[in-house]
Each structure stands twice: as C-alpha cells, then as structure tokens.
A and B are shown apart, each in its own frame.
Chain A
Amino acid sequence: MSDIRFTDQHEWVRVDGDIATIGITDYAQEQLGDVVYVELPEIGKTIEAGDEAAVVESVKAASEVYTPVSGEVIDVNSDIEATPAGVNEDAMGDGWFVKLRMSDPAEFEKLMDENAYKEFVEGLH
C-alpha cells in the first residue's frame, strides 16, 4: 500500500522509500478545467517545501503547483508536457508532475492524510 498525503492547495504526495511523487488532486484538475500547458522544473534542481515546483495552465488561467516536501528533482513527467490533457484524465496517477528525492521525510508526515483531505474538500462546498 502506497502512502499518500495531501495539501490544502490540492497537491498530493506519494512516497516510496525516500522518493516522493507529486501531482495535483482530482478536485484540482476539475476546478482548473482543460489543462493546456504544463511547465516542469529542471532535473537536478533542489526545491524547498512551499516552493513553486511546476505551473499548470488551463484555457482560462495559470496556477502554480507548490511542492509540499523539500528535495532534489530526480524526474519529471514529460508525457504531460507533450499531452497536458493527461492531467485531466488521470490526475492522481499517470498525470503526476515531479519526483523528488526527499531531504526531510518528516515534512511528509505533517501533511493531511486521505480522510483529512476528503473532509477538507467537503468543507469547501
């Protein structure tokens, strides 16, 4: 079972060992609408929790994707650069944005778990 956490900015982080995969939630992709452009960081870049990790744009507007954990970018999803609609199709899976090698795994533990995020989203309506 993979361990997943969420932020109040609608990012998700899934952890496998010290590797964190980051994406936006299904709620976020639905709010954004059709994703038409994604800008991803350079591999090798070090980013701190709260930094901008990527940009996601719909027809209407651009939004930042912030990394909830610190670390070094070890991979980016070039599939969604080529086909941004992939974010809408599978935001929680194949539509991931960035993989980081975490420098402080404790950051992960402070984030919302699935139930807490679900409650948070329900509270937005």
Chain B
Amino acid sequence: MASSRDDFIIAIRSAFLKKSTQQKFSLLTLVFISIFIIVLSSFDLKFIRYLKAGISEAVYRSSFIVSIPENFLKNTFFEIREYSTFFKNYKINKEELNELKSKSISDKITQFENEELKELINNYTLSSDKLLAKIIVDHDSPYLKSIIINKGSKDNIKIGTNIYDRSYLVGRVVEVNYKTSRVLLLSDLNSNVPVTIAPQNIQAIITGTGENYGEIKYIKEGISNLISQDSIVYTSGTGAIFKSGIPIGRVDVADTGSSKKFKVDFYSDFSQLKYVFAELVTKIDVKNEDQKVDAGNSQINNTVDTKLQILEEEKKIIEQTNLKFKDENELLKITINNLNKQISDFRNEVYDQKQIIAQYNIDLDEIEFLRLNLKFGHTCRKSFLNNDGFEVGTLEYKSCVMNKGQTDE
C-alpha cells in the first residue's frame, strides 16, 4: 500500500518537475506562470492593458494571414450556395426595392421629425459618422461569439461603439487595441440589449443564445401574450449603451406547450459578415434655459442658428419632395397633351370617313335616278303627246322619275 503511494508520488513529482532533454522549463514553472498571467489579466492594470493590446495586434494580424486559405475555401463554398438561389433572390429584392423607394421620402421626413423631437427631449444632438471596417478574424467559437475588426483607438473607436451591418445592429466593441478591436456579437451569451417590440411597444431585453438567434427575456408579467409572430425588435436606447431605434430582428414565437419562447431572428447573418460599420458618435450639447440666460444673446443666436439649420434641412427635404412632384406633373402634362393630340387625330379621321360615306350615298342616289330615268323618263318628260309631264332637269321631273313615273298629285 505504502509502496504504491510512493510510486504515485514519484510519478507525479516526475511529471511536474522533470525536464526532458529538449525542454527549457519544467511543467510546474509553466503552470505557475499561467496562473500568474490569469490573476494579472483579471486586474485592469494599465501595463497589462498595453501588453494585451500589443499581443492582440500581432496575433490578430497573424490570425488573419493564417486564415486566408481557409477563408478562401469557406467563401467559395458560400458563393456557390449563393449562386444557386441567385435568381429567386433577385426577384424578391427587386420587389422589395420598389416598395422601399416609395417609402424612402416619407421615412426621411419622419426621421427628421424624430431627430427634432429627440433634441427637444435630450437637450443635445448626436452627430454620427459611420466608419467602414473590415473583419479580419471571425472564428466562430462554440463558446464566445465575437469578431475582430481592423479599426482601433487610432480611428477613435471606443469601448461600447455600436457596430452595424448596413443599418442593422450586430454588436458593440468590448476590446480596443491601437489598430484592431473586438466586437461582441448580439448572439453571444454575454450580450444583453434593451429593446422595444413594435407595434405593441413592449420594453424587454434580448440576450444572445450562443446560436444564430437571440431570445427575449425580462418582460413584464402578463404582457408576453401581446407579442405576436413577426413583431419588429429594435433598440430602445435604455441605459445609453445602444442608440435607440436601430433595427435588430423579428420575433419568432415558439410554442412549447406549457410556455412560450420568444426567439429573435436577427436581420443580419453574423456568419456572412465581411465589412461592418462602426458608428462614431459625437455629442453636441444644446444649452438649457438657465445657461442661455447666463450666456446672453450669443447663445440665443446659437440656438436660433441650430433651429435655422434644422429648418433649412426640413426645407431641403420639402424642396426635394416638391421637385419630385413637379417632375411627375410635367410627365403627366406631356402624357395629357399626347392623348389630346391622339383624340384630335381620331376626330379628323372620323370626319373624313363621314364625308366619304356621304359622297357614297349621293353617288348611290344618282345611280338610282339614272336607272329609273331610263325606265320612266319618257313617262315624266313633257312632250307633244304628254302634256302632264315636266321639263327635264327640274325637281318635279326628278321626283316623278324617283316615284317610278307617278306624279305627287
């Protein structure tokens, strides 16, 4: 018993401490270094942060280069799959595009009104620039859902910067290095986003599931029944982590019998991201009433200027709308003129044809008269033997011929 315990201890000691001929460090040393690094990385020290950022820069770039062959194969696979559904998608997209074009103008006006109202509520305006960023690493880990983009603190990216795919939210920045950043995707288990569900106007929080969909959690009791299939989910802006009004996805209600599960199908396919937009937001304060009094007329002028600017923008939109209507009017006028011209042409044609018909009728009467004249002319003509007849060429003569030799009397 004692000897087997001794053997165990010897084997363990040997495993931990014995260095093979090629090894420079014993395993025990490396275990201690690992634990030391884990403890250090749990502290948010400046030195550690810089070191980590340096390592990350180098590793992300290397990872991007190493991933090129695999990404090439992966992209080829996806492209082939895309081509097989290309025509079907094209038709759907065309229809959608037509619908969206018609909605575009009214949306612009609504957007503008929305901004104006927000400014009135918040006392500040948000000016935002969208920065295009390339995804350099997008390894789909089974545990963590994140991507690395090629923009960092050099490009004013900050922790919490919202990241978009077109106009859809995909996540936010959780780690910033000099030229790269890590974006935590909405599908990650650690992602929580305050949202509004439309049209019911329900406030909730969606969390990632580790899969390619989210789940609605933390809804007030009793109102979950109001949520319907295909309701739209967008950010509510609560907590000021995400900007409000950014579309996220649609609700998919999964009825499991005893309870309902509310999944959110994201508008954006996170596995297909190549480029994303990082939104750089600058907060511009609009001074409140007290500050206005203190600062005097210059600040009033600023507010007036801001309002004027807003009004100018509104004017621009209205002008654009007017221009569009004007163009449409011109087009309609031209169409009407063309139609009128066509009507006039048709009228002329009808008149000509009527003339031809009338002439034809006259000719027909003449022929009838000549035919009857041959037959009854002698009966109607005034002569030595026929005193009751009429002079040739008079109306009475013609009437007599037409009545087949019988006079009106």
User: Do A and B actually bind?
Assistant: no
B binding-site residues for A, Cβ under 8 Å: none
A binding-site residues for B, Cβ under 8 Å: none
